[in-house]
A and B are shown apart, each in its own frame.
Chain A
Amino acid sequence: MIQILVRFVVGGAVVSAFSLIADILKPKTFAGLFGGAPSVALATLGLTVATQGASNGAIEARSMMAGAVALFLYASFVSWVMMRYRFTALSATLGTMPLWFAVAFGLWSLGLNR
């Protein structure tokens, strides 16, 4: 239970810190870089290495590559949808979330599931 609490606080703090940095940067495409920052990864990998060892952290990082490809396609699609159609940011980002899951788990099933 304590480990879950630590994860929650560390993850919340790291994601908030990256969001705050993005808030004070201009122009918007530059600030947006932080939407692809390793915020959850930094919080999680540090705790994984501390509790389960470096080899588990390395395996997580390998799978993370599939997640990063999925994030690239998801963010590109969200950007295109909002520029071209009249979707709000909330509906575009949440409505296209299945794309991230499909690409991430699709790539995972192609070779990272070992």
Chain B
Amino acid sequence: MRPKFDTSGLGETQWHEYAIRFLFGGGITVAAGLVASKFGPTVGGLLLAFPAILPASATLIEKHEKERKEEKGLNGATRGRQAASLDAAGAAMGSVALLVFALLVWQLLPDHHAWIVLPGAMVVWLVVSVSIWEIRERMRTIRRKSHSPGIGR
């Protein structure tokens, strides 16, 4: 499946769900700052890769997927869990790119302007994470084809 934009799911998210994400993101950022000022930047830096989005996004995806199935009179619990699991698998791929982001910022920030380094590292994060996703998709396609040798012949 090719990546695409789909705004149909936006209406399913309620205002308090957006508020929870905002509060959580703000809270983690404040915590990272407070930890850094109390214990130093080596400890504070750990929190920069804290799973700030995953718990809320996985919970919302599970809830929305479950509701969709139950509207059709089906038990959506399993489908909801699977959808949340896929979301977490994506986050794992994104975190590999996050390692590259951190490496670049660590190496480049002392000698270059932050307004070049941070957006540049962000672009690299995007390219690396999308590339990892693309490689995984191609490997899945190859595996699927090798498991069904009759198809396409």
A and B: bona fide binding partners: yes
A residues 30-66 touching B (CB-CB < 8 Å):
30-50, 52, 54-66
> B48–A41 contact, CB under 8 A?
yes
> A71–B114 contact, CB under 8 A?
no
> B48–A40 contact, CB under 8 A?
yes
Neighbour of B29 across the interface among A11, A54, A79, CB < 8 A: A11
Asked if B120 is at the interface (CB within 8 A of a chain A CB), the reply is no
Query: What range describes how many residues of A lie at the interface?
Result: 35 or more
> A100–B3 contact, CB under 8 A?
no
Neighbour of B62 across the interface among A19, A29, A39, A89, CB < 8 A: A89
B residues 16-39 touching A (CB-CB < 8 Å):
18, 21-30, 32-34, 36
CA distance A38 to B95 in the complex (A): 9
Q: Distance in Å from the Cβ of A19 to the closest Cβ of chain B?
A: 5
Closest to B33 in A: A7
Contact A75/B23 with A35-B57, A39-B52, A59-B41 known, Cβ cut-off 8 Å = no
Contact A65/B103 with A32-B87, A71-B51, A75-B92 known, Cβ cut-off 8 Å = yes
Contact A83/B82 with A19-B57, A57-B114 known, Cβ cut-off 8 Å = yes
Neighbour of A46 across the interface among B5, B13, B106, B114, CB < 8 A: B114
Q: Total number of A-B contacts with CB less than 8 angstroms?
A: 346
> A36–B94 contact, CB under 8 A?
yes
Neighbour of A30 across the interface among B7, B55, B90, CB < 8 A: B90
Closest to A35 in B: B91
Which residues of the partner chain B approach A112 to less than 8 Å between Cβ atoms? Answer: 42
> A12–B23 contact, CB under 8 A?
yes
Which residues of the partner chain A approach B101 to less than 8 Å between Cβ atoms? Answer: 38, 41, 68
Surface stretch bound by A, among B67-75, B122-130, B142-150: B122-130
Q: Distance in Å from the Cβ of B103 to the closest Cβ of chain A?
A: 6
> B18–A16 contact, CB under 8 A?
yes
Q: Distance in Å from the Cβ of A3 to the closest Cβ of chain B?
A: 7
> B102–A65 contact, CB under 8 A?
yes
CA distance A69 to B29 in the complex (A): 19
Which residues of the partner chain A approach B107 to less than 8 Å between Cβ atoms? Answer: 58
> B53–A15 contact, CB under 8 A?
yes
CA distance A80 to B92 in the complex (A): 11
Contact A60/B44 with A25-B4, A49-B114 known, Cβ cut-off 8 Å = yes
5 contacts between A and B (CB under 8 A): A12-B26, A39-B52, A57-B109, A59-B41, A108-B42
Closest 7 CB pairs of A and B: A32-B90, A11-B29, A36-B94, A15-B25, A63-B45, A67-B49, A35-B91
